Structure 1
Amino acid sequence: MNLTGIKARLTLIIAIASLAVLIASGTALWTIGDIQGEVSEITEKEFPRTASALTLALIGERLQRHGESLMTAAGSDDRDTIQNLIGADLSAMRSQLVLLRQLLPDLRGAEEQLVLLSSDLAFNLTSMRQNLETQTELELSVLYKRAQLMDQKEGILQVLGPSVLAINAIVTATDAQSAEVLTKAISSQDALLTSERLINSLMVQVLLAERATNAEEVRQRSLSYQRTLQQFLNSVGNLPKGLKDRVQRHLGVLESQTTDGSIFDIKTQLLSTVALLQATIDQTRGLATALDQEVDILLANDQRSIMETSGRISDLFVTHTVQFLISSLLIVLLLVVLAYSLIARPIVKNAMALTRAMTRIASGEPDVTIPGLQRKDEMGDIARALSVMKDTIARIHGLDKELAEQSQLLITTLDTMTDGFTVYDANAELVAWNPRFLSLYNLQSNMISAGTPIRQVHASLARQGIRVFELHGPETDYPTVARSRMLVPKQFELRAPSGRIIEMRSTPIPDGGHVTIHLDVTEQRSAEERVRQAQKMETVGELTSGLAHEFNNILAVIAGNLNIIERGLSDDPRLKERAHKAMGAVERATMQVERLVMFSRRQKLSPEDVEINELISGLVQLFQYSLGPDIEVETELEADLPMIRVDPVQLENALMSLAVNAKDAMEKGGTLTISTATGPDNSIEITVADTGIGISEEALQKVINPFFTTKPAGKGTGLGLSMVHGFVSQSGGSIDITSEQGKGTKVLMRFGASLEHVSQPGIDVRTPRGQGELVLVVDNDLGVLDVTAAQLEALGYNVDTAAAGEEALAKLKANPEFKLLYSEAMLPRPWDGEALAKEAKGLNPDLAILLTSAELGALDHVPHECLQKPVPERVLARAVHDQIRRKASQSSAHQT
């Protein structure tokens, strides 16, 4: 063949080219086979495994967040919602694992470990929820049991209390008692006091057990409770039968605390549940940490595997290209160039482009264009697998962005909180805070930075004079506060010189340090103080009421005996005058007791016809004594005024209140003038004027408002003028207050004149006497009983007495000749005054009823006339005489 011809050369070239193509084709097929194996390793195993691992990792992170949410869930509904989310994530995790097993039958242990850790985490979260519910139920059970026990204690004390007081009265009575009565009283007193002490001791054991921090302490309190309960039961056995039966009705709940289901058992279960919950929390944190570590290891291994496979692909290209060049160079250099240009170079270019894209994706670049996605060969498979990995990484970056946005939201929330917020680390150095924290304590922003020691912050507060106290407890110091907040949840109060009160609520962080909320509770504490003051005044009122009751009984005995002494001293004017003065002192004491009763409750008005000039004249001496020597008391009383119908005691109290106000307005002395005059429309005017500092026009508009006062703190309650205004209005009158600063204040009260009862001269005011009528006097106070009987006998009545309702009924049944029953209204039940009167009327319908009590305000519902102790003898004589005469008139009318 002539090789010089163009055709031959072309034919030779074509032949050689055909041979080269055959050789190149064989070499290319061999190369592609090796590359396809490596690509299959990535597309069929590595990428699906990486995608599944990332999905499992995301699910595990969600489970961990759900666990943290479960710890802080506010209620059962929130916990149910979080538990449902955990269940959904577990289902997704199982589905992903099934898919992974289908793709890779030879699944490696790392994925299995990830699933096991996530499953254990979910199990712990479910257990944690159950433990939280159990803890809540046990705590509620403890509170319920304690409330039951406290109710039984109060019931027992209410049974024992009156008996203790009654026996104390018997033991301490000044009048002689029989030895037998005194011995029984002392014996009963010992049993009652012992029972009272033991029931309180039982409640102390219960409260100590409730505050116990370990099971052994609860067991010791249970044993102490059982011993004390046995002593209490023995003591109850020594009580009088009536009391013992009533106390034993309350023993069921007390005795049930020594059996299963007692408050001690529940407290032990609660301590066990708290310990189990803490163990579960610790285990959950460990699982979460292990899960994070496994995810990090799995992702690192996958990235390393992908990079190694990419490197092998690159090495294969280089190796087979060299082999191709060596074999092709032996045939024809041109074919090598052509083969490289047409086959090798495009493949290497695409592989390098993919490698560069993989490198950029691995470095975190989001906008990477992947070449060869439309290719139908293995390079296209690689490109598409790389696209899946890119989308997965993009989702991870999206989650990071979402987390950053949530962090920013948290920061914004803290910045807008109305309460201060701080976080300190384990070294007691400031980590985070919000602007409200700085404004609460007047701290400058340039003084506070990350890492500021807590002692530096405390020093700044101390320089401002801010003091720190235990919550509702004593003052403490800042070093103690810093130490205790690291250990247990604590609450403190910080009190600034300005009066601001800030409450700190600190909670330790598991890894060390603490989180604190700072609340401005100034207004809250002020409101609480007002409530406590109101409760204190209520307690003082109850005590005052009880004292007034006892004093009235005592004054009744004194007044009665003085009346008897006064009558027996007719031959000794000097001693009779002394007795008369003593009687006046009793009357003043009675008025003081009435004023005490006003502080305890609002009295029902008892209006009667009052000679106003006489009432004021009787108060002048008391005013002069009470107001002191610097205040001169003057009266300007118009003569021959009609009577007014008011409650005289309340009118005296109103005048006394106005006099005290006038004294406070005249600190340097002055004149108090009380005057009476006829007003328009036949009204009667009473004016109280002083020469004090006066009241401003602005304050004058508010002086009758409750709790408004112009006096300095601690010198007035703001109730004086409001009480006077209420009394005058309730009595059908009106009040007018005028004042000028520097010139004094004038209070004018106007009442209507009594049209039916006008003071007339010449009325017979002699004390009415009896005609030997038979009267039954009943009173459980033997001193009052004795003096009342003596007074009535001196007034001409035949008198029989009884110290109790049962005894009185027996005498009424035995003798139908009684004309009047005069009884204490507050006798012990069941035969108190009202019940006794009702039964007595059933026995004798013609019997007149008259009651008396030292606590008249509590007897508004009694449907009989009731006299308030101490009863003046003239009032007693008139009431007894009128009741007997009225009942006799009614009986005559019925017979007619």
Structure 2
Amino acid sequence: MLYSRLTHRFLLGIVAIVAAIVIAFYIYSVPFIKSTVFGIERNASHIALNNVFELANKMQAGTAEYQAQVLASNRERLRAIIDTATFFFQEQLSLLIESGVEPALAKEQVLQQIKKLKYGEDDYLWVANTDYQLISHPDPAFQGKNTRDMLDEQGNAIMPSVIEAAIKEGEGFYKYRWSRLNDDELIEKFSYVKYFPEWSLVFGSGVYIDDIEAEVKNRREAALEELRQAFDEIKIAETGYLFIFNEKGKMLVHPNNNIDGVDFRALKNPVTNRDIMRDLINVADTGKELYYKWDRPSDPGNYRYEKVSLVRFLPGFNWYICSSVYLDELQASSKLLADRILTIALIALIVASLLAIVFVYHITRPLRHLSETAHRISNGELNVTTDIHRKDEIGVLARAFDRMVDQLSQNIKELDNQVNKRTSQLSKRNRQLSIAMQQVQDTTHNLQLMEERQRLILDTLPAQIAYIDEHQRYVFVNQGYADAFNLSKDEIIDRFLWDVIGQDMYQEIRPHVLSALNGATNSFEYTMQLQGYTRITKRTLIPFCPAPQFGSATVHGMINLSIDITAEREAEERLQIAQRMNTVGQLAGGLAHDFNNLLTILQGNLQSIEHNPNTPPSLMSNIQPAIRAIKRGANITSRLLSFARRQPLRATAVNLPLLMDDFVSLMKGSLPNDINLVLSLDASLANPWCDSGQLEDAMVNLVLNARDAMKDKGAITVVAKNRTVTDGLYFDEEVRPGQYVEITIKDEGTGFSDLAISRAFDPFFTTQQTTNSSGLGLSMVYGFVKQSNGYIALANHIDGAFVSLLLPVASALPNKNMPSQTSACDQGGLALLVDDEDDVRSLVREQLIRLGYSVVESSTADEAINLLGSIPNIGLVVSDVVMPGQHDGYQLAKHVAQQIPNCRVVLMSGFPQRHGNEALEYCVLQKPFTQNDLLVAIQQAVKHR
């Protein structure tokens, strides 16, 4: 019998198993692979469309911003034009009247000149009086005409309402319809109109709206061309593409030149027989695809090929952005893959069946013979052999079977001896096992103690530590980790990761978790709420792979190590703020130098005119306001440098109650009647050490901010009290222990937003309209407080917000250096004047001459050093500090000390900050200064001996 029952069963079993595997593989994998590949191809189309849509959306946002910028630019330009025209009108009118022309005639002549003023292409100025009559207009048809007679298409007067509004409001921007010069068509115009009651005239100028829209249209066309170039680089499937059309049916971008730029509203969808444009619009932003049939480039005019399109709508441009791809192209890859898998499966089934036949026959025949031999041995024939001689495993099995039978009889004889011997050995092993069990118990106890010590150490570490197995289930957590999630350790152990930390946090850190479970150590930062505070943690996930000697090299879990780095991040933020303040301070210092030079020139020349006996008395009333304005300009520079923390403060022990009385009087007129200013001072209030003027400015700034934050009536409370700080107090930074005066301004307003609290001290940051606030208020307060060695804090309370200033007490500071007594000096003699600014040098020369000095001038310190050795009897050197060349004012002063020991040196500087320790050795005169300031500086100058 060639095939036995065992052979048939073995063969049929192998073939059935192989066939079942092939069928199951095909059933469970091929449909899934086909749908997955199809989905990948479709998602590629969606991703390409979404990327282009985001690009277009950003372009649309840029275009909207550009439109706003154009309108804002035209607003400022129109303001400047009106201001220039009215300045011209005033100056020309004054000149004509002073030359003897009658005021009415002078006014008419100036209006004739203004009528000729034009700007741009067709833009001009017009002037009307309070009787609504155009008394200056470049179009002769409107010159002298009453605006009540100028009507639009509906018969309504155009200009009277605009003129009336300007007279009532003083000025404003208005829209109305007006024609261009030499044109009768009325179009939208945007104008700035301002009323001047001193002349009873209304000045106006504007731009046409279509000029502004033309600029925006050019910007939109540029965006469309940029998208067209981007489409050339995008490929969907084999022949898929993207296209754009607008709501009017115009094809804006299409790769087919026959469709690009045409009106395609008449094209039909062969499937629905409706306008394909309307079908595309209906599916826009619904997430659904439009199914239709279309022709192919290789088969034009034959609309039988299935396609799908996804559509997105961009409201800002009114564009519809679409993707289009043939359905069979999306399915081609999946069909090809499925066919190849089926072919491979059939070939594998045939080959496996053939191999099974050969294998089964070769294996079962010797097995049958071996079975017959075993049957005979079981009947007692111990001398029987298999007679199978093969070199494979079956041959090995037969030889082993023969040796087993041969040894069987011998083993039966030795069995009794071995049983007795093993019984004795087992008794000995039992005694050894008892000793080993005791050792195991001792070791277990020691391990428990060690584990308890490790758990105690891990619980006391300032970190969150946890071990999570490969199934993302907690195995161990320390107390810090449990506290972070407000749970006990027992409540966490054996729970899954996402159940403890929550789905939101889990989804954010899931990529890091999967990376660690795949064997990669990774670190990342995560912000979380811990005990009611926002904390920044640095989390490190370390995969746990047992050493090779433990029999495994795979990842069994991961260790989570989380450290709180909030303090480090806050320190970095404070460093960045300090760096920004330093940069702004450098810029402010440079501006102050140039501005103070200009103020020095203006102040000196105005005082020369003031002291000149030939100055007409009529001009004296104009000179004093100009000098006061210069002093206010110097004060502005001082405040700018105070905000940059580069302005030397005039610190004194401030009598706070007296300053508060003046402050309340100052603020009464600045607060509405329904807002009360409440003052609360300690009875024995200490004197803070700071600049009283800067402190008053800071309080005014904070109270005005509080007023702006209070929409309804209420109270602003100013509280001043003594405060002793030991440690642990935190304002904008940790407060040093000592004696302080705390000044708190509380309001009942809307409070600070989170953004305002985080960026309140940033220069130029403001929550108000930019036309009403520069964004320097709190920055200047911050600069003054930090320069005064103080601290500042701001926060919200239940009814509003408060700002607290912490200033050091005068008695708690080290003794301040008192200014040296002025020494008397004889006026007159020879003076060397050094300054690179010609106008400043000319001004100081006149002041020195009036003080009785003969003056020798130099424009650089290098030149002045050469003059020291060649000009005798120099008794005074007056020099600027910063000048071009190899030497500055301090180096020149050193040369003077070496060559002319008895010569006095006065240095001038437009920079308020000191230039290192060298500045302490010399008298530095701050620009701008008066002649009397110069005299005092000369008297205070120290002679170098």
TM-score normalised according to structure 1 size: 0.39
* TM-score, reference length from structure 2: 0.37
Structure with higher helix content: 1
Higher strand share: 2
